[in-house]
A and B are shown apart, each in its own frame.
Chain A
Amino acid sequence: MLSRLKRATVENELLYLFLRKPLAQLALFVATMLIAGAFLANWIAPTNPYDLTSFDLLDSLIPPAWTETGDARFILGTDDQGRDLLSAILYGARLSLLVGLTSIAFASVLGVSVGITAGYLGGRFDAIVMRIADIQLSLPAILTALLIDGVARGLFPGAMHDELMIVVLTVAIGLSLWVNFARTARASTFVEKNKEYVQAAEIMGQHPLRIMLVQILPNILGPIMVILAIDLAVAILLEATLSFLGVGVPANQPSLGTLIRIGTEYLFSGEWWIVIFPSLTLIVLIVSVNILGDFLRDALNPRLR
């Protein structure tokens, strides 16, 4: 009925809706600030927390600068080893984001390829792959990640641990999250493959690979973007959880999860700042990414509008 009005493009529509959602705008602002802060950590952090020579044990457990016993050099205070907490958070967020982003990239490429292929080909391939996905879905993601992490640690000798730890962690998180992408891609492919533009390509005799990549993939990107945003938060959280449990990143390169673990040991002895600030950073990051994911889901789903 609105054909008499100007038709809007999808991109246009997204911007229009975004400008009407102050919460999404706030979330984008916060997330951008945190991500920028994390990736510019080298330049904006007061000290380098990875450099053991830059901190002094005498500075340990100093409360934030605005408290009575605070020190102006350490705005958010220091941890048990005299590390500046602000610097540690910035570097830690950088690591958390890096692991989160690479693992989600890995998970999405793997999941979407498997999902499109299963959806388009159907039959036996679909049945086998999707049963594997179902089995994995019945296990908590954290368990899968722990399992893969543990197996990898057993396979590699101790000396290689530190270099490989981050890679292993990324793969472990990626492998525990691919299922969401696969299921979404498969379901959307089922819808798209029965549309007539795909049949037209089949009639021409186009290669199945080309049909999947050129014809179908661009049409299912919408729902995949949504999963991408929501699962990014899950990936960051998984990394933090694994690091909290002590099986994540190496201890000399603390991520947000590692910082929180260190902090909990001091929570009841009155040094609250070590656990509070990394936790707050993590919460704010996760919440803002989730709000953006929700916004994207609502915006791309015309029925919820």
Chain B
Amino acid sequence: MTLLEINNLTVRYPTRFGEFTAIEAIDLNISEGEIHGLVGESGAGKSTIGAVVMGLLESPGYIASGNVNMLGTDLTTLNPTDYHKLRGNQLGMIFQDPQTSLNPLFTIADQLITTIQQHNEVSENSAREQAIALLDEVGIDDAEGRIDDFPHQFSGGMRQRVVIALVLCTNPKLIVADEPTTALDVSIQKRILVLLKDLARQRGVGILLITHDIGVIAEICDRVTVLRQGKVVEVGPTTNVIAQPTHEYTIGLMAAIPLIGKRLERFQNIIAEEAPSDDNTQWHVSGASAEYAEHWLHENYTLLQNQQQAVASANSDQAILVVNDLEVRYPPENPGWFRKNLGYQALSDIDFELNRGEVLGVVGESGSGKSTLAKAIVGLVDYTRGSISSNGIVLEPGSQRSRKHEARRRLQMIFQDPYSSLNNRRTVEQILAEPLKFYSLVDSRADRRKLLASVLQLVEMPQQALRKYPHQFSGGQRQRIAIARSLLCLPDLLICDEPTSALDVSIQAHVLNLLKDLQDEFNMAILFISHNLAVVRQMADRVVVLKDGEVVEQGDSDVFFTAPSAEYSKLLLRETPSLSILN
């Protein structure tokens, strides 16, 4: 039986540049017990659809046409009071971030019992019993004992279970889940997905699952709708859409998804990134070209490497990076007066080497110390024991490392969030010129500009970008600018800390291709940190697995992905959505 039916839905937002159509002529229906996936890249209008169904469309957005029918009522005509009764009773919503969707000031019991009593006239005691039964159902151990705990006493995955229990306590017919597992680690994600699937099967709840992650869709959805820029591109049973996409966009989207099961040299047939619109395409720097940048980089790399070899010929066989018995301990927040408080140990006993031209993947869940490792190497965090060296030269802990340390230029970092890694108040030219000026690589202003324009072309950006500010670019484009900035330092080692996790899949594919090209071309070493195993598979030659600040396993990438030795690695690989339909 059809539960929800969306017909010809169009939502618009009036803005100062005219009407913005968020979604246009959307048709969608969900049956009882069906999990319907809604997938698309950022800006596709996924969340807008969820908001319309929940009646939570934010002003000034409005429904321009179409209707949303749920069990015979047109939701778009409901007044706020009736909608309020419907929400919670028949409609439930699971939000992305379990940290913020529970009220931290009330116990779980308070929140559950209030919600149950809001919708059913039951005594507090029987509401409490219901609440305990629900917590039990969503898989919280010792529900009776934990019901009086506060949200902060639960872990992220447990909290999301509590949110699901909260949604279920009124027995809704339809649940809208907006990126329910995006904020969670893979091993927890899997369990939440299984829980959702069981709910749909056992209770016959319809679920609208909004996500950007095709892996999640493949895991649990019965049918899927692919959205692009507010329009439905393709709809159908999950296996058909994923394994045999018919629309050009879906084909491109699937081609861009990194698969954990196989390593691609380059991503092929991916959707072209939108070129930044420019009012002044005529502007260019004469003599600038990608070849010029390539030539300059090669020439200077050779020059600098010869210098280094002359200086350190004795230890020329040293690796680009040697990390030995490393420990990082964060100082305690409140140092004890009498008791010795050692603080929090983020990393311990880390040993690995990285050679020229090699890509080392670092994987692990949140809190495993991946980012701390990167920060310790570049000197943003002090390490407390062990040693780090590069080409045989010792890299002291951050606060003792000289500002003029020779290795600073050779170690560069690409950050996770391209929105905060570029200074918004400086033009792209000023940002890119910084390393050239700072390390006195190019002194003349004209030469600098020519090189900057060229290097932008090398990272597949138009020259005109020089005169703009970072906020005028999309995330993928900003990440390219950040890569160009690192490249101009002529690094031997590029540390990439989750470089693509803030990007859409097709843009991720472009950035990964670019990193591979540059790595091949200039023979850099890359320390590639990611929680996404499929991405690491595409990039890494060797892999280090971190858990709770310790190395669990390290070795050849192919071996790790086909026959991991540590229990934890096996678990990680098993829990990652695998898109096995495709293999």
**What residues make up the interface of A, taking CB atoms closer than 8 Å to B?**
1-9, 16, 195-197, 199-207, 214-215, 218-219
A116 to chain B, nearest CB (A): 14
Seen from chain B, the residues whose Cβ lies within 8 Å of a Cβ on chain A are 13, 15-17, 20, 22, 42-43, 45, 48, 229, 378-380, 402-405, 408-409, 411-413, 415-417, 420-426, 434-435, 438, 469, 471-472, 474, 482, 485, 489
- Chain B residues within 8 Å of A4, by CB: 20, 43, 229
Beta-carbon contact of B408 and A204 below 8 Å: yes
In the bound complex, residues from chain A placing their C-beta under 8 Å from that of B471 are: 7, 9
Which residues of B lie under 8 Å from residue A8 when comparing CB positions?
A: 16
B422 touches A197 (CB 8 A): yes
**A203-B378 contact, Cβ under 8 Å, with A2-B15, A5-B15:** yes
Q: Which residues of B contact A2 (CB under 8 A)?
A: 13, 15, 20
Which 4 pairs between the two chains have the least Cβ-Cβ distance? A218-B425, A196-B421, A196-B415, A205-B403
B413, A203: Cβ atoms closer than 8 Å: yes
Q: A4-B43, A8-B16, A201-B434 are in contact. List 18 more A-B contacts (CB 8 A).
A: A2-B15, A2-B20, A5-B17, A16-B16, A195-B420, A196-B420, A197-B422, A199-B380, A200-B415, A200-B482, A202-B379, A203-B378, A203-B412, A205-B403, A205-B408, A207-B403, A218-B423, A219-B425
B332 to chain A, nearest CB (A): 16
Q: CB distance B43 to A203 under 8 Å?
A: no
Chain A residues near B422: list those with CB within 8 A.
197
What is the minimal beta-carbon distance from B507 to any residue of chain A, in angstroms?
A: 12
Task: Identify the closest chain B residue to A1 (Cβ).
Answer: B43
Task: Closest B residue to A10 by CB, please name it.
Answer: B471
Question: How far, in Å, is A56 (CB) from chain B's closest CB?
Answer: 58
A13 closest partner in B (C-beta):
B16
Best-buried of A1, A5, A7, A200 by chain B (most CB within 10 Å): A200
Pick from B16, B417, B434: contact of A204, CB under 8 Å: B434
A224 → B minimal CB distance (Å): 13
Report 13 cross-chain contacts, Cβ distance below 8 Å, ordered by A residue. A2-B20, A3-B43, A196-B416, A196-B421, A199-B380, A200-B482, A200-B485, A203-B413, A205-B404, A206-B403, A214-B426, A218-B426, A219-B425
Residues of A with C-beta under 8 A to B416: 196
Least Cβ distance of B421 to chain A in Å? 4
State the CA gap A218–B430 with chains docked (Å). Answer: 13
B434 partner residues in chain A, CB cutoff 8 A: 201, 204
In angstroms, Cα B411 to Cα A105, docked, is 42
- In the bound assembly, the distance between CA atoms of A206 and B229 in angstroms comes to 42
- The answer to whether B423 touches A6, judged by C-beta atoms less than 8 angstroms apart, is no
Q: Is the CB of B421 within 8 A of A200?
A: yes
Q: Which residues of B contact A204 (CB under 8 A)?
A: 408-409, 434-435, 438, 489
Check if A202 sits within 8 Å of B380, measured CB to CB: yes
Question: Using Cβ atoms and an 8 Å threshold, which residues of chain A touch B15?
Answer: 2, 5
B428 → chain A closest CB, angstroms: 13
Alpha-carbon separation in the docked complex, A206 to B411 (Å): 14
Contacts of B22 in A (CB 8 A): 1
In the bound complex, CA of A205 to CA of B417 (Å): 21
State A204–B421 Cα separation when bound (angstroms). 13
Bound complex: CA A111 to CA B412 (Å): 35
* Chain A hits for B474, CB < 8 A: 3
* Contact residues in A for B426 (Cβ distance below 8 Å): 214, 218
| CB neighbours of A3 from chain B (8 A) | 42-43, 474
A222 nearest CB across to chain B (Å): 10
Q: Please give me the residue from chain A that is nearest to B407 by CB atom.
A: A205
Do A196 and B438 touch across chains, with their CB atoms under 8 A apart? no
Verify B413–A200 contact, CB threshold 8 A. yes
